[in-house]
Amino acid sequence: MVQRCASMLPSDETLTQEGLSTTGKSGRILLIACGALAREILAINKANGWDHMTLACLPAKYHLYPDKITEAVEEAVAKHRADYDEIFVVYADCGTGGQLQAKCAELGVKMVAGPHCYSFFEGNEAFAERTEEGEITAFYLTDFLVKQFDAFVWKPMGLDRHPELRDMIFGNYTKLVYQAQIKDDALVDKARECAERLGLTFEYRFTGYGDLETALRDLS
């Protein structure tokens, strides 16, 4: 079953945005993306009038099971290749250990650069610099993960049932960094609450869409 990305919520189903015109100068482009990025990609495309791009999202829960990503992307490319002039994969490495990049190269499709979404939202160069400067004990949340903290962090890690796991899982972290894509005071408050629940200091960092928007602009 196919659902529309415009109403993106965590789901076990593939999500697809249909009905876009194909008047863009680059021809028909399919974006195969992580469901956790659906709202951001739709917002970027709408703001820039990129109506030649169609969005197909794989289930956001693959964020928890990166071993599923490469195979799912390969299947999506095979399914849609004949219908588009170009396919672009809107995943970073996302824990695949280089397997996704190798598969995309094999399939002849490009993908967004970076080790994960926290890096490309920050900007890959800026994120690498922060890491080199010692920001290796930070736990990151994006808008999506703040909204879905219980579903994608708290419960999958078992903290709802076994709070004693907090020290084992987060004992080496010192702070929670909220990388905000939009400015929303309610999300800031919720992110601060998440930091308190994890026993971490809190840092707010407005990143906007970072290198994600740059990558999509390069396609247009």
Read off the pLDDT of residues 145-190 as tens digits, 9 standing for 90 and up. 999 999 999 999 999 999 999 999 999 999 999 999 999 999 999 9
- Are the beta carbons of 179 and 205 closer than 8 angstroms? yes
**123 or 6, which is more confident?**
123
Which segments within the chain are labelled E, that is strand? 2-3, 14-16, 29-34, 53-58, 86-90, 110-111, 138-141, 175-180, 201-206
**17 or 197, which is more confident?**
197
pLDDT at 1: 24
Rounded to whole angstroms, how far apart are CA atoms 8 and 25? 27
pLDDT at 50: 95
- Are the beta carbons of 195 and 168 closer than 8 angstroms? no
Calculate mean pLDDT across residues 115-138.
Answer: 96
Q: What is the mean pLDDT of the chain?
A: 90
Please say if the pLDDT value at position 90 is more than 50: yes
pLDDT at 20: 38
Please say if the pLDDT value at position 214 is more than 50: yes
3-state secondary structure of 77: helix
Predicted confidence (pLDDT) per residue in 107-118, tens digit: 999 999 999 999
pLDDT at 198: 97
